[in-house]
Structure 1
Amino acid sequence: MNNSAPSRLGELAKLFFKLGVIGFGGPVAHIAMIEDEVVKRRQWLTREHFLDLLGATNLIPGPNSTEMAIHVGYVYAGWLGLIVSGVCFILPAVLITGGFAWVYVTYGTLPQVAPLLYGIKPAVLAIILNSLWGLAKKAVKTRQLLVIALGVALLAFLWKQQEVIALLIGGLLGMIWLHSGDKDDKSKVNLALASLTTSATFKATAASAVVTTTSTVPLWQLGGFFLKVGSVLFGGGYLLIAFLQGELVQEYGWLTQQQLLDAIAIGQFTPGPVLSTATFIGYIIAGVPGAIVSTIGIFLPSFLFVAALNPLIPRLRSSSWTKAFLDAVNVSAVALMVVTTLQLGYATLIVQKAPYIDFLAVAIAITSAVLAISFRANAAWLVLGGALIGWSASIVGYI
């Protein structure tokens, strides 16, 4: 491998642009793809280092998978690598979303991609499972960490606790329990878990509207709104929806309810980070300039947060207290990925009528898992194969 700076930057650009193109399935899937490429295939990072980055990233605002891409770029090629990896990972989603925005504003409709997504989702499920197995083996080092992982999973699955709160609780309890070595602290864990309150989830309701473009919104105000969102966005897509609904629809009136729902749909069926929804919304509100300022505003904080956080991670390992905290956060992050994967699996493989199992989706998932685990098939080929099967299934009338 050529270790020159231009060569490393080229490798980063090629890798993360590819991942941006094939990155369907949300942040958990993106992280699984990144782990497969940079840990298993290229060995740019050890799995332990990757877990440290993942645990720390879950504690700061912004899109986790984008920030993981930025972390890897910084570790592999310094400051320029940080910029190149982040931009190349984001760019495909931004370009695709911008194209859909133009079609939407021009023709008032969205393209039909459901058949492709039908086949892609079970393939992505297999990619996630392959990555999770390796991450879990490294993260669950002790029985205490296993207990913490189970507790965090229960918080997220049963009590719907917000992700960052669950991570912080897992990290703090782990820091006390693992550092002290006092088995009686298990009661403190149970007491703390039992005392938690649930987080409310936000659901948008549909309302009829026509596609219109607001031409009077100042660009600085639009960019400032998305800069604020990118700076405080914990909790992923649900919180993003809450921000958009509360301010852009209700307070400012820049978007209609239907436009918001269509923007969310675009974010779900395009590859790459879901925050590229900002590009779609910016275009609807203020054309190409609006798309540009909205995109820069929502993603810029992630670059700044990672630049500030990355140099601190080795120091976290040097203290026994922070090392215990980081170990607990790492295993908590894996637990949250497991919960998300279970939810994705249910939505992908289960149908609402007899026989209640989508056998074609199950077959795609099993085949993809075998190819990924036994033959180390690249995620790009699995995604492409799933899309082709979904397209074929729609032609023969299966879906």
Structure 2
Amino acid sequence: MNALIEIFKLFFHLGLVAFGGPAAHIAMIHREVVDKRKWMDEKHFLDLIGATSLIPGPNSTEMVIHCGYHRGGIAGLLVSGISFILPACVLTGFLAYLYTIAFKFPHFETYMIGIKPVVIILIFQAIQKLWKKAITAYELAVVSVIVFLLGFSGIGEFYSLLLGTCVGFVILKFKKPSSINSIALPAIFWVFAKIGSILFGSGYVLIAYLQDEIVENRAWLTSSQIADAIAIGQFTPGPVLSTSTFIGYLLAGGWGAVAASAGIFLPSFIFVVLLNPIIPKMRNSKNFSLVLDSVNAASIGLMAYALIPLAKVSFPSPTGSITFILTLILLWKFPKISSLKLVSFGIISGVALTELGTLIS
């Protein structure tokens, strides 16, 4: 029981303060679990990082679940995952409530245009960082470009990713054959569970899936609302996938938020339970390594394609275009500025430029 309380306190605290994306989250987990508490050694922690990269879902959340499982078994797995996810989901749900109320204010939708170009820049930054790790050979760059182009074909994000992964695996195997507004709650749960089951790569890949499943296939929300949801996910601590809570609330209120959150995070718990006992074998599998390389490259292509719908709702507006330029200048001046501050700047810029435009006209 003491171990479960310790697990809850640690990961609930991290859920409240874990800003900065998956890499920053994993660094915090490493400091707490390996350096301070000595729950496991460095080698096993690295094994867990490698294993989480081989399965769909949010890497930092799955690392939390792995650590909880290692420390407290199945009960520790549940406590760690829920305590880490809960703060972000609750806060995001509250912001979604405020968001729906705010639409009653004049010019609110115009104010929010400042967020869209900031999200575009955040995705560019993520692609730039991940490209160096994911694209380690020209064949993988080809896979990424193929998936990007497939986005325009209309076959869907999952099939684009699957096809890109298969192409990448075949190419790499050939090259190195011996080397390494009210929506039904069940519908909301199913859509997000499906996304959570096939989401590889950075949380930013989520944008492409949301655009495909929520906007294009079902017309539940607009591209503009998806961009707002992603921005709110950046604004809150914890996993970026808490964006699902925001979207679920827009679709069906509080229970919609619960259904979306449960759907997108549940596969991670299942994958960790299934994966944990076979991590050593997976680490030594050459074919798994080739599949992983291909999936990561394909994910970069999906992220790049996700920029298209965001650009369509951002740049036709003078406010969006000016905010984009101002944000680039801000990044040039302060290259290490946080996502939280960038999103805040986008909101302030949107409000200020909208009011200025009203005064001029």
Q: Give the TM-score, by structure 1 length.
A: 0.58
| Pair 1:102 & 2:97 matched | yes
1:315 deviates by 4.5
| Pair 1:73 & 2:68 matched | yes
Q: What amino acid does structure 2 have at the position aligned with 1:258? A: S
In 1, Cα distance between the equivalents of 2:240 and 2:271? 19
Q: What amino acid does structure 1 have at the position aligned with 2:24? A: A
SS at match of 1:272: coil
Is the alpha carbon distance of 1:155 and 1:63 closer, same or farther for their aligned partners in structure 2, counting shifts above 3 Å? farther
The structure richer in helix per residue is 2
In 2, Cα distance between the equivalents of 1:354 and 1:98? 30
SS at match of 1:43: coil
| Pair 1:241 & 2:241 matched | no
Residue aligning to 1:302: 268
In 2, Cα distance between the equivalents of 1:43 and 1:232? 33
Deviations 1:109-130 (A, max 9, x none): 5999x9xxxxxxxxxxxxxxxx
Is the alpha carbon distance of 1:42 and 1:307 closer, same or farther for their aligned partners in structure 2, counting shifts above 3 Å? same
| Pair 1:228 & 2:223 matched | no
Is the alpha carbon distance of 1:44 and 1:92 closer, same or farther for their aligned partners in structure 2, counting shifts above 3 Å? same
Deviations 1:193-224 (A, max 9, x none): xxxxxxxxxxxxxxxxxxxxx02x21111111
| Pair 1:24 & 2:41 matched | no
Residue aligning to 1:44: 39
Is the alpha carbon distance of 1:155 and 1:236 closer, same or farther for their aligned partners in structure 2, counting shifts above 3 Å? farther
In 1, Cα distance between the equivalents of 2:133 and 2:222? 41
Paired residues in the alignment total: 277
Residue aligning to 1:258: 224
- For structure 2, the residue ranges without an aligned partner over 5 or more in a row are 115-131, 148-160, 300-325, 349-361
Is the alpha carbon distance of 1:48 and 1:324 closer, same or farther for their aligned partners in structure 2, counting shifts above 3 Å? farther
Residue aligning to 2:256: 290
Deviations 1:278-333 (A, max 9, x none): 1101111100111111111111000000000001124457xxx549977x989xx9
1:176 deviates by 4.1
In 2, Cα distance between the equivalents of 1:268 and 1:156? 32
1:100 deviates by 0.3
| Pair 1:271 & 2:237 matched | yes
Is the alpha carbon distance of 1:354 and 1:77 closer, same or farther for their aligned partners in structure 2, counting shifts above 3 Å? closer
Q: CA RMSD in A?
A: 4.3
Alpha carbons 1:152, 1:167 under 8 Å: kept: no
1:241 deviates by 1.3
The runs of 4+ residues in structure 1 deviating greater than 2 Å are 108-112, 149-169, 171-178, 235-239, 314-317, 321-326, 350-358
Deviations 1:2-59 (A, max 9, x none): xxxx111111111111111111111111111111111111111111101111111101
Is the alpha carbon distance of 1:151 and 1:102 closer, same or farther for their aligned partners in structure 2, counting shifts above 3 Å? closer
In 2, Cα distance between the equivalents of 1:352 and 1:248? 29
SS at match of 1:297: helix
In 1, Cα distance between the equivalents of 2:187 and 2:260? 10
Alpha carbons 1:174, 1:325 under 8 Å: kept: no
Q: What amino acid does structure 1 have at the position aligned with 2:274? A: A
In 2, Cα distance between the equivalents of 1:355 and 1:265? 17
Q: What amino acid does structure 2 have at the position aligned with 1:247? A: E
Superposed, which structure 2 residues align to 1:83-122 within 5 Å?
83-108=78-103
Is the alpha carbon distance of 1:159 and 1:254 closer, same or farther for their aligned partners in structure 2, counting shifts above 3 Å? same
Alpha carbons 1:27, 1:64 under 8 Å: kept: yes
Is the alpha carbon distance of 1:7 and 1:154 closer, same or farther for their aligned partners in structure 2, counting shifts above 3 Å? farther
Q: What amino acid does structure 2 have at the position aligned with 1:313? A: I
SS at match of 1:271: coil
| Pair 1:53 & 2:26 matched | no
